[in-house]
Amino acid sequence: MIPDYHDILDHILIDEETLQRRITELGTEVSRDYVHRPDILLVGILKGCMLFMSDFMRAITIPNAVDFMDVASYGSGVRETSGDVRILMDLHTSITGRDVLIVEDIIDSGRTLNKVVNQLRSRNPASLEVVTLLDKKERREVDVDIRYTGFVIPDAFVFGYGLDIDEYYRNLPFIGVVKKGVVLG
């Protein structure tokens, strides 16, 4: 049985209202920055980006298109990424000559994003930037350029608002910190 989220939640780190307020700000900032090249392709990295993408794209007031990529990172443990990143589903759109904004849920070691950025850069977009909702800055192992950040958060395992614990709890409207020692399944 998968426990109700109340049983695994240590505390709420970012509540729904704070998330929504910050996402609106990000949308406004991006709309202003891209006003002279108003044909953004938002590239979401599945599946964590789902909820953020849907709110973020609605906060953008200039024309935008969306596409998705699914990548798998393999690591020594479930919560560690090795940087061995495989594309499970590629974009459906050509990005050559386009203004691309990668939409990520969270950056931890930076290994996943680094691979995605290198892969997409080789396709010669007109520009390539990154927006991430969450940044666990102190965990960074690989340097990545992040243009827009929602929140810098401490080194704790978080879930909700698109982020999962073993694929569950993505639907929660807030970002929560999991209790220590929780293992599902």
Which residues of this chain interact with Mg ion, rule CB under 5 A? 48, 105
64 binding partner (options ligand IMP, Mg ion, none; Cβ < 5 to 8 Å by kind): none
Interface residue with ligand IMP among 163, 172, 174, 176 (CB under 6 A) is 163
Binding of ligand IMP by 158 (CB under 6 A): yes
Nearer to ligand IMP among residue 34 and residue 112 (C-beta):
112
Nearer to ligand IMP among residue 34 and residue 148 (C-beta):
148
Quote the DSSP letter at residue 109.
S
**Runs of H (alpha helix) within the chain:** 16-33, 50-59, 111-121
Binding of ligand IMP by 110 (CB under 6 A): yes
Binding of ligand IMP by 52 (CB under 6 A): no
Please identify the residue of the shown chain whose CB is closest to the bound Mg ion. 48
CB of 94 to Mg ion, least distance (A): 23
CB of 3 to ligand IMP, least distance (A): 17
Of 59, 21, 62, the residue nearest 41 (C-alpha): 62
Of 149, 170, 174, 172, the residue nearest 17 (C-alpha): 174
Query: Is the N-terminal amide bond of 47 cis, ω within 30° of 0?
Result: yes
Among the listed ranges 2-10, 31-39, 60-68, 102-110, the one in contact with ligand IMP (CB under 6 A) is 102-110
Measuring CA to CA, how many Å separate 171 from each of 16, 23, 47, 118, 168? 12, 17, 12, 30, 8
Residue pair 150/132 in contact (Cβ under 8 Å)? The answer is yes
